[in-house]
Structure 1
């Protein structure tokens, strides 16, 4: 699944093994007629906000992995989400979203879109009937994640695809967690695929990028126009770094996935751990669906919950020495995230509780370290959390 090194666009003669970095903001034209012809054809480069070679090379790599044509790179994953909403929706439209999405996507749907006159409804994506029931005559778009962030539930993708097709509504899938290695939305019937390239595709926590593509070129064009107008353009240097990271994507994911399985097994047997959520385990609430949707794989993301409240959570983070506590995922090293204080801090506590996000709930993006080191670090953390809960921090 890792892409092959691409050819550098427009390069004649010797082909560089590594794509050159092209930081230029502007490109010269021979004369006004040449510039007119260039704009008319859409070929070449004029101004970096309108596109640049490093972004095109990276977009082409992801297009190949997703089976897309003409997708484009944005300045962040949220920029990709923004380009989709701004390019495809208008006042009076309605959007249905999963009730478990990345926290900032939820905020955009709950706070920002209503400011623009766009109504939103959230529904349970593990039940396609709930999505179907939420669709109205004015609904234009349904937005889901295959694996929910951060509760690792699996969407009923077959049912959701059928529901959106019946209603004539666009379906957009944020494929950041799953990646094209586990799921390919366009091949499965979705209309739009989105990525935070910052995460697993790039893989080294040194870029901030997004990607979006649509099956219909007219939709891609509309999103691209919004991207260009609102200035959501990516940095050439970030694109160059991400291209490098993608060359090792398949190897990184395979090792991280094996580590996730080992860590999930170890956490399940630790005193003080209430539950572990990894799709590859038979005790996952959506295990059978996960195996069908994800091609028998479990991915590198897992979540778990320990007994106790915020004091136990603090103790776990401090005790798991060697594991980075950081609100991110997809790095080569394992990162630990506490949704209640990071990605979902803006979500009301009652809403978090409804989907199972307590103060003792953690999300883990498993990396490629030696598995025995990972397990030992988490064991220390869980033991510290249990001691804190016993001292009166349970809640």
Structure 2
């Protein structure tokens, strides 16, 4: 509309409606208008709920946060970030200072490992990488200045199962924070707060959103003061999420549990199938009895062994190349949690920053693959893997 002088003015409000939208509206606005300075004060002071600037929060992020809060049974509303690594960064950079010491699981996601081993030391924060299933080693690594222990409940990519119960008890005893990245396991299989974790992290990008079209993270803390500190750091450092990505992720999360259950059932079938193929050195799946942490996985995950399967070909890079070329219809991509099955090769993607010797020490050879099982027919999926493994064996 136009005012008397002819300048263009925005409409004051959306059209009124007695009914409500069934789908969550997308709210891309960067800024929100308040009626008066007093009202803006009340919003910032918490007397009124309202949005001000999208970096400080927006409706689509709140919808996603509330859904994940319910899934995780979070004590306080968590923070949605622009990526999973933004959530990791908010914890490692927002809750530590120079002179602190951080212990990380020795098989974290590759970028988490890089931040722990390269970025934190550069900022004066000491780090130690320790097997999260070795309680003696964890206890020995703790120092007076240790601030936190960060682990994955099930490690990426070797599917090692952490002793979360033991670590929670140790963290309480020593007065340090236990941070659990629950991306692989998801709240469908494991709820870290129920097992003594202080902080829970997710890459929503993966299984929760589930369609490889939204990049988001999430972090929530048991202690309200820490939760507020994480939120403030996220706002200050510009780790805010895109409304569109939040809108897409909410749509994906509506089918999350159905997708998880279907993919997990297929993962068990695929793991057993791979174990019977010539040309496979080993198969790693926590639901199999030959997994070194199977008993712990049964107790910790209560029969929910997730959709991730790892295996090692009987061969090096040439066999790996032959395998991916012959895996017809499967996407070779450094991701997980998609509706379709994806293949990841840590030596050339997530853990390429490590030396070959360090990768070998962690069990990641050139023939090592991680599989994120999707929603395909199990028989058809097994047939593709049979064909691909045979091609690798012939290479």
Give TM-score, length-normalised by structure 1.
0.94
Match of 2:115? 108
- Provide the secondary structure at the position in 1 that maps to 2:128: strand
- Provide the secondary structure at the position in 2 that maps to 1:36: helix
Query: Deviations for 1:237-273, whole angstroms, at most 9, x for unmatched residues?
Result: 0001100111111110111011101100110000010
Match of 1:34? 39
Is residue 70–residue 217 contact of structure 1 (8 Å, CA) maintained in 2?
A: no
Of 22, 29, 45, which residue of structure 2 is paired with 1:24? 29
Match of 2:54? 48
Q: CA deviation at 1:43?
A: 2.4
Match of 1:57? 63
Shifted more, 12-21 versus 298-307: the winner is 12-21
Shifted more, 28-37 versus 70-79: the winner is 28-37
Q: CA deviation at 1:233?
A: 0.3
Match of 2:181? 174
- What's the RMSD between the two structures over aligned residues? 1.1
Match of 2:279? 272
- Provide the secondary structure at the position in 1 that maps to 2:321: helix
Q: CA deviation at 1:13?
A: 5.3
Match of 2:308? 301
- Provide the secondary structure at the position in 2 that maps to 1:130: helix
Match of 2:124? 117
Query: Deviations for 1:124-168, whole angstroms, at most 9, x for unmatched residues?
Result: 011122111111100001000010100011111111111111101
In 2, distance between residues paired with 1:12 and 1:118? Answer: 54
In 1, distance between residues paired with 2:136 and 2:71? Answer: 31
Matched, 1:66 2:96: no
Unaligned 5+ runs, structure 1: 1-10, 389-395
Structure 1 segment 207-246 matched on structure 2, within 5 A:
207-246=214-253
Of 206, 211, 235, which residue of structure 2 is paired with 1:204? 211
In 2, distance between residues paired with 1:12 and 1:122? Answer: 57
Q: Which runs of 4+ in 1 moved over 2 A?
A: 11-16
Q: CA deviation at 1:70?
A: 1.2
Match of 1:159? 166
Unaligned 5+ runs, structure 2: 1-15
Structure showing greater Rg: 2
In 1, distance between residues paired with 2:192 and 2:321? Answer: 38
Query: Deviations for 1:281-313, whole angstroms, at most 9, x for unmatched residues?
Result: 111111111100111121100100011110110
In 1, distance between residues paired with 2:160 and 2:42? Answer: 50
Q: CA deviation at 1:12?
A: 9.1
Q: CA deviation at 1:86?
A: 2.0
Match of 1:8? none
In 2, distance between residues paired with 1:385 and 1:155? Answer: 32
Seen in structure 2, the aligned counterparts of structure 1 residues 386 and 156 have a Cα distance that, compared at 3 Å, is same
Q: CA deviation at 1:15?
A: 3.2
